[in-house]
Chains A and B, each alone.
Chain A
């Protein structure tokens, strides 16, 4: 009973946060409500005994990815930007509907409730969730794991290349300061003394 109540609380707050994130005109509020969504999703993971995933949910999504978003908001002065419907919103709505359909379809199709895999609640309880994940990840799923590290490497190249374009064209105040000129100025001051 308590578990159900908590599930509906976490789920409801997660959905509410996501809805506010989509519809609020202020991008900072949007980021904050997304933070709320992430934390409540971690709560749902806890209810499922998936402690490690819950921690990673907060560390990676709330602590890293969303922080990057907030940094970008700080860089582009969000309050002056007016929210508008992007021209491609029809395509977006269509893709969203397809994904939603697939998720619901998959939910009905899989037999989660009827047939248990090797990772039963008792098994995970006994050895601990982090251990269960580690055992699976570093023995049976070693290939996906190494692929993941390769994808992260590619992501790093992409990040540097994309950001590299931004660095070379400084705009406004706070652009790149020429270090050599600063050094020359310093030498001049020291020389005067």
Chain B
């Protein structure tokens, strides 16, 4: 049916994604046609503790979030390297262990640097 045995295992996943997309979109569409709709400008205005909304909601936000996201990208790549290592750990033995200790040591240098420079603070 398809190239090889490994890929065949993914066909159910492909079908599952399609089915859940259809389920999601279908439910929204059917619900759209059966519901009562009464438009009213007051109803459509956004919530702001009962007062009139002030200014555009999409104000700039602190750079904190950006730093957290960048740190996350870097650490996430490092974590991704750990999985193949964990899977083959039995085979590579001491050599693999030392490699990973060096790798994690570098990881820790980066981590401590980020901490000391205040990258992990949230104020």
Contact = CB atoms under 8 A, between A and B. Distances in A.
Indicate if A touches B (C-beta under 8 A).
yes
Interface of A: 2-3, 6, 43, 46-47, 49, 51-52, 56, 59-60, 63-65, 67-68, 71-72, 74-77, 79, 121, 124-125, 128-131, 133-135, 137-139, 142, 145-146, 148-150, 152-153, 155-157, 159-160, 163-164, 166-167, 170-177, 179
A172 B62 CA distance: 9
A179 B123 contact: yes
Contacts of A135: 88, 91-92
Interface stretch (B29-37, B45-53, B78-86): B78-86
10 contacts: A68-B72, A71-B65, A75-B61, A135-B88, A137-B84, A138-B96, A152-B77, A156-B114, A163-B67, A173-B59
Interface of B: 1-7, 10, 14, 56, 58-67, 69-74, 76-78, 80-81, 83-85, 87-88, 91-92, 95-96, 99, 102-103, 106-107, 109-110, 113-114, 117-119, 123
A72 B103 contact: no
